[in-house]
Structure 1
Amino acid sequence: MEIIYIYDLYNMLSYFLYFILIIWISIQAFNLFSFSWGKTTQHHHHLPLPPGPRSFPIIGNLLELGHNPHKSLAKLSHIHGPIMSLKLGQITAVVVSSADLAKEVLQTHDQLFSNRTVPDSLRACNHHHYGLPWIPVSPSWRNFRKMCSSYMFSAKALDTNKNLRHQKVQELLSYVGKMAGAGEAVDINTAGFNTSLSLLSTTFFSLDWADSSSNGDDMAGELKEIVFNIMESAGKPNLADYFPFLRKVDPQGIRRNMARQFRKMMGLFDRIINKRLPLLRESSGNIATGLRDGSHDILDNLLNYMMSEENKEHQLLDKIAIEHFLVALFSAGTDTTSSTLEWSMTELLRKPKILLKAQMELDKVIGKGNQMKESDITRLPYLQAIIKEIFRLHPPAPLLIPRKAELDVELCGYIVPKDAQVIVNIWAISRDPKIWDNPNEFIPERFLESNIDVKGRNFELLPFGSGRRICPGLPLAMRMVDLMLGSLIHSFDWKFEEGVEADTINMEEMFGLTLQKAQPLRALAMLRM
């Protein structure tokens, strides 16, 4: 995943420390490059690497990528084609930028590209051995995926918790109503984060971490800061990613900082688990044989499975694994939902006619003054089209999570060498003029007469990925984003803060693990009459 963490590479290489390191690297790495390149060409002389830009000695193509690598790689693909190779320090990267090639990587050769290239920052606390996005395909990975698909994000499980989601969205509307009454602007990202955190913590732990009145402190603020620091650390350019022999040194301290953030979040989970385990053991003499439905929250289910005979036999789940699983889930579940909501509100405020059209649909289907419910979503095609268009223009992870080639793979007449990093630039695909008319414009109508969805079957629109590594939280994310956005624009009229205009609002992106809006959106709400 090294390629998505170099958006500030120019600043990184300007530091004196890096200058010293590069000199040392040039001495140490010359023979390594000569050996590895010779070895590659020796074994694959019959198939070339994909074309790509000429590289500098030692650092390769690192300087080509700039602050927004998804955009830089899209521009390079216009020159070198939809499949190209780059040298990022010692790392060979292959980038695909077309829907057809994305299908080759994520479906046709999915088995050979199923595992990840792990950035050094995510090796902190051995997270790459436990975190679901990073662990290789294995019995442990399959076990977690089974738990996600069967007990957390299945249609049955989500239907069971739909009243909870309605409650949390009502709390969001109540908060916005208070801000509207006071004439104060709403920070859309923070409001979305708090709602997502409240939902996840209540679903998993039966605790509302976003309610400071119930826990006596600002848990939401603490978690938001931790998640931000995790994303920031993972988004920083890291020499250890491009020159793996520097991993032991951790020259920039990025892995050490990430370890601090992981320990903070895991400490929160650890305290809850330590309180819960004795209660579970005392409440029943019969330990469950597996996960179960009912009045238990998800943590109960996970701990019951951990103590089950089935797990004792196969050793697939322990407390550390559960804590790492929760770190990944809470980080991604809060960050991506709040970011998508923020981009949605930004685009709608820039296009008042589209916002009005969406409100008219909601009024017709639901009726003014009535609460939107999840069962209404299928009857709101224009709202669904808006969400799809947001995922097209602002995919949460514009380069997905890069894969790793398990073996030498032939792709489109070129060789993708073993251990190469394989990046699918879905940002470039979703703005490909060969696929989309006016690709840079926000036009939800393009999806009204289209069967394209975001579930990984249409390779021109892949915000959640595809294949066996598709995001397991997709079903919950779609319900939450639709319900939150629909409820906000159905209950309130919106406008920018004073001094901000549709044609002057800052639309810059902040690149990292997810594609955030660089300048937070603050908007004024007015209760609809």
Structure 2
Amino acid sequence: MISVRRMLQQALRVSGRSATPLLRWMERWAEGAAAAAPDGTVVRSLDSMPGPSVLGFAWDLFARRGLSKLHQLQLEGLQRYGPMWKASFGPISTVHVAHPALIEQVLRQEGQRPMRSDLSSWKDYRKLRGQHYGLLTSEGEEWQEVRSLLAKHMLRPKAVEAYDETLNGVVSDLIVKLRQRRHAEGLVTDVARDFYYFGLEGISSVLFESRIGCLEPVVPKETELFIESINTMFVKTLLTMVMPKWMHMLFPKPWKTFCQCWDNMFEFAKGHIDKRLREAEEKSNGDKMEGNYIAYYLSRTDLPIKTVYSNITELLLAGVDTISSTMSWSLYELSRHPEVQASLRDEVMTVLKGRKLPRAEDVARMPLMKATVKEVLRLYPVIPANARVITEKDIQVGGYLIPKNTLITLCHFATSRDPAVFPNPDEFLPQRWLNKDQTHHPYASVPFGVGKRSCIGRRIAELELYLALARILIEFDVRADPKGVSVKPMTRTLLVPENVINLQFVER
């Protein structure tokens, strides 16, 4: 223990991070380990785990920080209590884990049908309206069946490569949109809004094999409403989850707004699914219908149509925020690091050899492109904290015995910003992913999750990002806001920019 302690002190001294919380945690762990069973099994209970009081956590959550700063509370928890702590508020009690090795321990014990955190308010809405669960809300065999079906079209590399032509068409419309939106000196205000439309158009083209007009000069009203509903729903999600159900009667507005947003989203998805299925029926003329888009594929299975509606709705909302946020942060950082932008542009143009349209196969020869996106997702993980509920058995993590059905929060934001894991953690340094002498724990930055519960749309989202960034860098020099405004992240269930990002797109 003494040698480990000294090594940790030295490592943290080099990184500039206070060693005290981690050392205290290791001492507590050692005390528990000393009382272990002969076979080495640690029997330390959750009662001995550090963490804030209920009132203290409520104060941090609402008065001192606020729900929009949940990602900052991760960093503070790590500093105060070490890499594991517990916290409770209202009906929610959770064990926080903020170290890659401990996150790995959790995920390696998650079982055959891992369960995410119980999105209670999402499920309550579906029960209220008689809707079915989708991939984000279902569990067990129901989840496994849909996951297996979608994996064939969304995770196999060859299947995803087939979408590059479709996505390139969407990127072309984005380029036109950016040109239309430019003001003096090429300034585009609130670029995240454009990327929301781009993200929705891109995922819709994959799900429906048709365009829905998000990047047209006049955006359809139902599309505007869908995007507004996503934004509001995510804001209300945290609030409705921490509020006990009886409080909905006393304070009905948050729950009513939350339900209305979901009504809007389900109506939007259902309308487009029904329209495409009618068109496919009409074209078939009684013959066997054909189609490569995902909504059609799901509709041809034995799944109930309500299950199809739910899954498509959840895929739509998941795809929009992932693309919008990551595109916004990528160009924000590249605009503030012109030397990285120039190197990335050179890489793209070298690989394309005069071609204007990149293909999926080109990305394999763009290591800096991949490193740039990795670094952006390390700094700004779309999902700042993931969760697991291990339902099959008690598990051991970090010297503690965690009973089954305990909610475990995986603090990805804190882990990916930990100076003991990533030197200069707040700096945008894509080269850290290219340096063969600098390795990182494989669970230190996992923005898309790991294992069976990893993001089903990861490969499609990454392809869309790569194609869009390549095309934008070919067409424009992207420069920072002339006013020099610095933008910080905020939590809105997902991690998003705290205020608008304005960028200059100067013609090359």
> TM-score, structure 1 length as denominator?
0.78
Secondary structure at 1:168 match in 2: helix
Secondary structure at 1:463 match in 2: coil
Distance 1:387 1:250, change over 3 A: farther
Displacement of 1:386 after TM fit?
Answer: 0.8
Q: Find the counterpart in structure 1 of residue 74 from structure 2.
A: 73
Q: Find the counterpart in structure 2 of residue 482 from structure 1.
A: 466
Q: Give ranges in structure 1 of 5+ residues lacking alignment.
A: 1-43, 289-293, 306-310, 312-316
Q: Give ranges in structure 2 of 5+ residues lacking alignment.
A: 1-41
Distance 1:217 1:408, change over 3 A: same
Give 1:507's match in structure 2, choosing from 449, 462, 487: 487
Identity among equivalent pairs (%) = 23
Q: Find the counterpart in structure 2 of residue 7 from structure 1.
A: none
Matched, 1:395 2:381: yes
Secondary structure at 1:475 match in 2: helix
* Structure 1 letter corresponding to 2:448: F
Residues 122 and 137 in structure 2, CA contact (< 8 A), matched pair in contact too = no
> What is the alpha-carbon distance in structure 2 between the residues aligned to residue 144 and residue 491 of structure 1?
40
Residues 152 and 158 in structure 1, CA contact (< 8 A), matched pair in contact too = yes
Displacement of 1:221 after TM fit?
Answer: 2.4
Give 1:198's match in structure 2, choosing from 191, 196, 201: 201
> What is the alpha-carbon distance in structure 2 between the residues aligned to residue 482 and residue 180 of structure 1?
23
Q: Find the counterpart in structure 2 of residue 161 from structure 1.
A: 163
> What is the alpha-carbon distance in structure 1 between the residues aligned to residue 219 and residue 338 of structure 2?
40
Distance 1:157 1:62, change over 3 A: same
Secondary structure at 1:415 match in 2: strand
Residues 93 and 420 in structure 1, CA contact (< 8 A), matched pair in contact too = yes
> TM-score, structure 2 length as denominator?
0.81
Deviations 1:221-280 (A, max 9, x none): 232212212222214x34xx3464636647353332222111112112333444455565
Query: Which moves more between the two structures, 467-476 or 164-173?
Result: 164-173
Distance 1:64 1:415, change over 3 A: farther
Displacement of 1:514 after TM fit?
Answer: 1.2
* Structure 1 letter corresponding to 2:399: G
Displacement of 1:361 after TM fit?
Answer: 2.1
Q: How do 1:14-413 residues align onto structure 2 when only pairs under 5 Å count?
A: 47-49=45-47, 51-56=49-54, 59=55, 61-65=57-61, 66-67=65-66, 68-111=69-112, 114-126=115-127, 130-138=133-141, 140-179=142-181, 183-186=185-188, 187-211=190-214, 217-235=220-238, 237-238=239-240, 241-242=241-242, 244=244, 246=246, 249=249, 251-277=251-277, 283=284, 295-305=291-301, 311=302, 317-367=303-353, 370-400=356-386, 402-406=387-391, 407-413=393-399
Displacement of 1:75 after TM fit?
Answer: 1.6
Q: CA RMSD in A?
A: 3.0
Q: Find the counterpart in structure 2 of residue 468 from structure 1.
A: 452
Residues 201 and 213 in structure 2, CA contact (< 8 A), matched pair in contact too = yes
Displacement of 1:169 after TM fit?
Answer: 1.2
Query: Which moves more between the two structures, 210-219 or 460-469?
Result: 210-219
Distance 1:469 1:247, change over 3 A: farther
Query: Which moves more between the two structures, 429-438 or 404-413?
Result: 404-413
Displacement of 1:459 after TM fit?
Answer: 0.5
Deviations 1:61-83 (A, max 9, x none): 22233231222122222221211
Displacement of 1:219 after TM fit?
Answer: 4.5
Distance 1:255 1:453, change over 3 A: farther
Aligned residues: 457
Distance 1:418 1:369, change over 3 A: closer
> What is the alpha-carbon distance in structure 1 between the residues aligned to residue 110 and residue 203 of structure 2?
34
> What is the alpha-carbon distance in structure 2 between the residues aligned to residue 351 and residue 243 of structure 1?
43
Query: Which moves more between the two structures, 247-256 or 507-516?
Result: 247-256
Query: Which moves more between the two structures, 480-489 or 272-281?
Result: 272-281
Displacement of 1:370 after TM fit?
Answer: 2.9
Residues 209 and 219 in structure 1, CA contact (< 8 A), matched pair in contact too = no
> What is the alpha-carbon distance in structure 2 between the residues aligned to residue 224 and residue 92 of structure 1?
31
Q: Find the counterpart in structure 2 of residue 39 from structure 1.
A: none
